[in-house]
Amino acid sequence: MIRMATIGTSTITRTFIAETAEVPDLQVTTVYSRTPDRAESFAAENGIATWTSGPIGDLLASDEIDAVYIASPNALHHEHARAAIEAGKHVLVEKPATTTASEFADLATAARERRVVLLEGMRNVYDPGFGLIRDLLPRVGEVRRVSFGYHQRSARYDFVLAGTRVNIFDPAMGGGALRDLGVYVTAALVDLFGEPESVAAGSIPLPKAADGAGVALAFYEGFIADLSWSKISFSHRPSEIQGELGTLTVDHIATPRTIDLELLDGTHVRHELGLPHANLRYHAARFAHLVATGDDAAPDQGRTLRTLRTMDAFRAAAAD
């Protein structure tokens, strides 16, 4: 059994703890918070026996844990993951794994040296629905157009409008729509097609806050992808992959549950996946597998690195 500690006490950690119940070899045994009261109440609320507070080094020095799940604000992921790796703990870190590709490359090197697993919790690419997209992709023939989007107005945008600082919209905390939601569409694109040859991008900066929304064009040999993301508006527009023989339509690129394959020859097959909406269990299971078997995490890390490099390129293009 892999004994895991969690860092961060927001909703996503609560969801993660619930999801680990579906992963046989993984158990959250300790929760960490910067404040003792919060650690104690969070442990009680989530049925976890042990809690820790104070310096994060005390948590990481414990022989009672083998791994950590990091769900702190994005800008702290590198620092927290680096400390955990140096303490010999396996690391599952929330998306985006780090705020830049170079930070992630540093973590991957450190993890290799310390012989621990480092995995980004990029939930869509481990979801079985995404596996079906990979399987169906050859059916559409030569890919010519891709259009992926994720637009979900954040409740925390209301705080920004009221002039209150919140981590997820704070540039100093690695916040913003590209890092929060654009990462899903970018990871999906890079997983399926690799890194683009060149990009163009634009973003909507918010006053005294990070980007609220953005778009990018990614150019590949023979096709163009458009990507969009927003935390200040919402849309249920599906994502699409258009080939010369047909089109795949995906209801949600972060949680693919209905996938339509329509071909020029008149074929139309709708795949309704009766899977749960919560999908953190799939990357949690991948993490448990990597820890238990010692399988190489390099392919997973390579995708994360290419995704973060593409996001670096989007940011640079948007700033031009």
Ligand X SMILES: NC(=O)c1ccc[n+]([C@@H]2O[C@H](COP(=O)([O-])OP(=O)(O)OC[C@H]3O[C@@H](n4cnc5c(N)ncnc54)[C@H](OP(=O)(O)O)[C@@H]3O)[C@@H](O)[C@H]2O)c1
Among 17, 28, 76, 259, binds ligand X (CB under 6 A): 76
Do residues 29 and 39 touch, judged by C-beta distance below 8 A? no
Among 103, 120, 180, 211, binds ligand X (CB under 6 A): 180
Least distance from ligand X to the Cβ atom of residue 12, Å: 4
**Rounded CA gap, 76 and 72, in Å?**
6
Query: Is 72 an interacting residue with respect to ligand X (CB under 6 A)?
Result: yes
**Rounded CA gap, 249 and 238, in Å?**
7
**Rounded CA gap, 105 and 119, in Å?**
12
What are the structure tokens assigned to 128, written together? 């079985």
Kindly give, in sequence order, each residue whose CB lies less than 8 Å from that of residue 218, ignoring residues fewer than 6 positions away.
Answer: 146, 189, 196, 199, 224, 225, 226, 227, 310
Residue 9 or residue 301: which is nearer to ligand X going by CB? 9
Give how many residues touch ligand X by CB under 6 A.
19
Least distance from ligand X to the Cβ atom of residue 246, Å: 31
Query: Is 95 an interacting residue with respect to ligand X (CB under 6 A)?
Result: yes
Query: Is 12 an interacting residue with respect to ligand X (CB under 6 A)?
Result: yes
The DSSP result for 271-289, as a single string, is EE----S--HHHHHHHHHH
What DSSP designation does 138 have?
A: G
Do residues 21 and 15 touch, judged by C-beta distance below 8 A? no
Among 30, 74, 301, 310, binds ligand X (CB under 6 A): 74
Query: Is 94 an interacting residue with respect to ligand X (CB under 6 A)?
Result: yes
Query: Is 185 an interacting residue with respect to ligand X (CB under 6 A)?
Result: no
Q: How far is CA 231 from the centre of its chain?
A: 16
Judged by CB under 6 A, which stretch of 2-10, 18-26, 147-155, 235-243 contacts ligand X?
A: 2-10
Query: Is 5 an interacting residue with respect to ligand X (CB under 6 A)?
Result: no
Judged by CB under 6 A, which stretch of 32-40, 208-216, 221-229, 286-294 contacts ligand X?
A: 32-40
Q: How far is CA 295 from the centre of its chain?
A: 21
Closest among 304, 230, 289 to 77, alpha carbons compared: 304
Residues 103-132 that bind ligand X (CB under 6 A): 121, 123
Residue 9 or residue 203: which is nearer to ligand X going by CB? 9
Residues at the site binding ligand X, with contacts judged by CB under 6 A: 8-10, 12, 33-34, 38, 71-74, 76, 94-95, 121, 123, 167-168, 180
